[in-house]
Structure 1
Amino acid sequence: MTTATEQSRLITVLDDIIQNDPHSMKAHIAQIIMDHDAPENYLSNILNYGCVCGCVPEMIYYSDTHAFYDQYYYEIEELRQSFEEEIGCAIEVQYDLKNFFAWFAFEHTAYQIANEAELDF
């Protein structure tokens, strides 16, 4: 359960992301989170259950995840490379490559946003 201060902090972080780099993948994800009635609950669902559970309507169908992957390919690749360097090995792709990395990027970015807002889910 988040407090009013945490909710306010999340809204501020989301707004800052959207304003500072409006065409980035991170801003796109921040806007999706911001568009929900309870952004903190929505973000919590993403972090706890992932895109695989269907909690992100924009990331359910291959047509959507493939379009997301294609649109943000370079940003996703930067995330992938950074993550692989951090863990010391290559990510093992499961099933559809574009879908896998679209979900990976969405979830990883949601985690970064939660960290920036200093939320603990």
Structure 2
Amino acid sequence: MKALTKSMFSDYDVSRTFNAIIRNNMESYDGTKKEKLKSFLLDLQHSGCISGMIGEFIYHTDCKAFYIEHLEDLENIKTELEESLGEPIANRYGLPHYTFMCWLCLEEYCYDIYRNSFE
């Protein structure tokens, strides 16, 4: 799906795994692939990972394993985001760092795809 390549973070290896998560989770939506993707991305923007809508990131143990596997990419994505914002990104819910990083990076990855594909 071409839209999944439209993120400024697509060069990171973790993007392939994020794309698999997106494909898996968008299947429960109705419509064409593009409509399913748009609906999924909008839901994620509205509810966020904290809602539990991303099965891969519900449990801290799953987030920890994912973070350890993709540590460098996730930390680099956060650094890029902070540089573009000009300020640090706070873990305002006091989550374990690994859960915060998984949620932050997936949400921003998906937001960037939405912005570049549907706005």
- TM-score class normalised by the smaller sequence: 0.7 to 0.9
Q: CA deviation at 1:76?
A: 0.9
> How do 1:1-121 and structure 2 match up within 5 A?
11-14=1-4, 16=5, 24-35=13-24, 36-37=26-27, 38-93=36-91, 94-117=94-117, 119-120=118-119
TM-score after normalising by structure 1: 0.74
**Structure 2 residue matching 1:32: 3-state secondary structure:** helix
Change (3 A) 1:22 1:87: closer
CA contact (8 A) 2:74 2:101 kept: yes
Offset at 1:116? 3.0
Q: CA RMSD in A?
A: 2.2
Q: CA deviation at 1:23?
A: 8.1
Q: Percent identity?
A: 23
The separation in 2 between residues aligned to 1:102 and 1:27, in whole angstroms, is 14
Equivalent AA in structure 1 for residue 105 of structure 2? A
Tell me by how many angstroms 1:32 deviates.
1.8
Gaps of 5+ in 2: 28-35
Question: What's the TM-score, normalizing by structure 2?
Answer: 0.75
Q: Which runs of 4+ in 1 moved over 6 A?
A: none
Residue correspondences, number? 105
Give, in whole Å, the separation in 2 of the partners of 1:109 and 1:41: 15
Q: Which runs of 5+ in 1 are unaligned?
A: 1-10
Q: Say which is worse superposed, 92-101 or 44-53, in terms of deviation.
A: 92-101
